[in-house]
Amino acid sequence: MRLCKFFFVGCLSLVSLASHAETLNGLYQVLEPVSSQAPEERAQATQRALETLIIRLTGDAKAAQGPGLAAIRKDPQQIISQYGYDAGPPESLQVDFDPVSTDRALREAGLALWGSNRPVILGWWLNDSTEGSSLVGDGQASAEPLRRAAQHRGLPLRLPLGDLDEQIVASAPNLESPDATPLRAASERYGADALLAVHAREESGQWQAKWRLWLGDKSEQGTAQGADATALADAVLLAVTERLAPRFAVKPGVSGEQLLEVQDMNLERYAALGRLLEPFGGRPLRVDGSRIVYRVNGSADQLRTQLSLAKLQEVPADEVAPVPAQQPAMDGTPPVLAEPQPQLRFRW
């Protein structure tokens, strides 16, 4: 079937997707706190904004200092579209980077890039301070540092309502446990892709935290510290960015090209799939009924992780029908070569 006909297949119904991944609109806009609007302060904040953006897009805290970005560090203006000041609080320099020139510069430096379609994280955050123990719930004042840190680090973060049942579930033992079963059960209604459990403590005027992250069947853990609750939130979410980015970031010219088949397609799923495959340079090649084949650049593991955000299931190898061998025609003419077969197959 020709690709253009895919949009007119009336028998394919539009259904609600199970995907929860979110496309971040402000990924290339960075806010960095400033103490004044003096030129020297602005120059320093611009350098910090550049570093923040590079970490957002690569997940690599050392990438900004690489030799491939020396020219950008010397003159960040070449990838900045505009800047201004945000009254806050806190007062900040707002730097808007140009996505096209930024991505080009990072790719020319050989860096892997994480696209704007990112997993939604549900954060279970318990604060233990001199004022007592409390779960940070959506709408509470204590949620604001977490929201700012999530925006700063380029992560879609949601918070639970923090009702009585959730406060019981979000106990310190549950948040520090490697078993996410209690949190998964309480998280179902929020429709997130990943769970983040954080137990934060204030001791002698300093904050420290233990955190765990679950995405699919994989988990990460670590510790963080900060001078105050705001610094701690940023440190935790920076660590989460550094752990997640390698699963999704695509390095130019390294992973190789392959074919991906996705089954049970319809119009709404076509749009969602296009967003998911954008970081991999996905290009639709052919459509056969409700099946579509894409040419993509990326490793199999990265594609599996990305497609899991939309709850796609990989088709087992034993369910793939073998391609019949091509036999020469009776008149001796060579057989028509079969179309290249996908290396990966998924279905909704």
Burial class (CB in 10 A: 0-12, 13-18, 19+), 273: buried
Q: Is the pLDDT of residue 21 over 80?
A: no
Placement of tokens 């084949």 in the chain: 293
CA–CA distance, 228 with 272 (Å, rounded to integer):
39
Query: Which of residues 88 and 118 earns the better pLDDT score?
Result: 118
Q: Is the pLDDT of residue 11 over 50?
A: no
Tell me the residue length of the chain: 348
Provide the b/e sequence for 68-81 (b: ≥16 CB within 10 Å): ebeebeeebeebbe
Query: Which of residues 152 and 252 earns the better pLDDT score?
Result: 152
The predicted pLDDT at position 10 comes to 38
Q: Where in the chain is CATH 3.30.160.100?
A: 117-248
* Percentage above 70 pLDDT, the chain: 87
Q: Is the pLDDT of residue 62 over 60?
A: yes
CA–CA distance, 281 with 270 (Å, rounded to integer):
15
CA–CA distance, 3 with 14 (Å, rounded to integer):
18
The predicted pLDDT at position 341 comes to 81
Give the CA distances from residue 284 to residues 3, 14, 264, 273, in Å, rounded to whole numbers and listed in that order: 8, 20, 15, 10
The answer to whether residues 118 and 248 touch, using CB atoms and an 8 Å cutoff, is yes
The predicted pLDDT at position 338 comes to 59
CA–CA distance, 106 with 92 (Å, rounded to integer):
25
Query: Which of residues 3 and 196 earns the better pLDDT score?
Result: 196
Query: Which of residues 154 and 17 earns the better pLDDT score?
Result: 154
Beta bridge partners of 313: 347
Kindly give, in sequence order, each residue whose CB lies less than 8 Å from that of residue 23, ignoring residues fewer than 6 positions away: 116, 117, 118, 275
The predicted pLDDT at position 51 comes to 97
Q: Is the pLDDT of residue 7 over 60?
A: no
Q: Which two tokens stand for residue 16?
A: 């609600």
CA–CA distance, 27 with 45 (Å, rounded to integer):
17
Q: Is the pLDDT of residue 14 over 50?
A: no
The predicted pLDDT at position 135 comes to 96
Q: For strand 291-297 and strand 257-263, is the pairing parallel, antiparallel, or unpaired?
A: antiparallel
Alpha helix ranges (H) inside 16-94: 39-58, 70-74
Phi/psi for 34 (5° steps) reads -135, 155
- pLDDT confidence of 270, banded at 50, 70, 90? confident
The predicted-structure confidence for 98-115, as pLDDT tens digits, reads as follows 999 999 999 999 998 998
Q: For the domain bounded by 117-248, which CATH number is listed?
A: 3.30.160.100
CA–CA distance, 271 with 180 (Å, rounded to integer):
32
- pLDDT confidence of 323, banded at 50, 70, 90? low
Query: Which of residues 73 and 117 earns the better pLDDT score?
Result: 73
- pLDDT confidence of 333, banded at 50, 70, 90? low
Of the candidates 186, 185, 174, the one whose C-alpha atom is nearest the C-alpha of residue 210 is 174
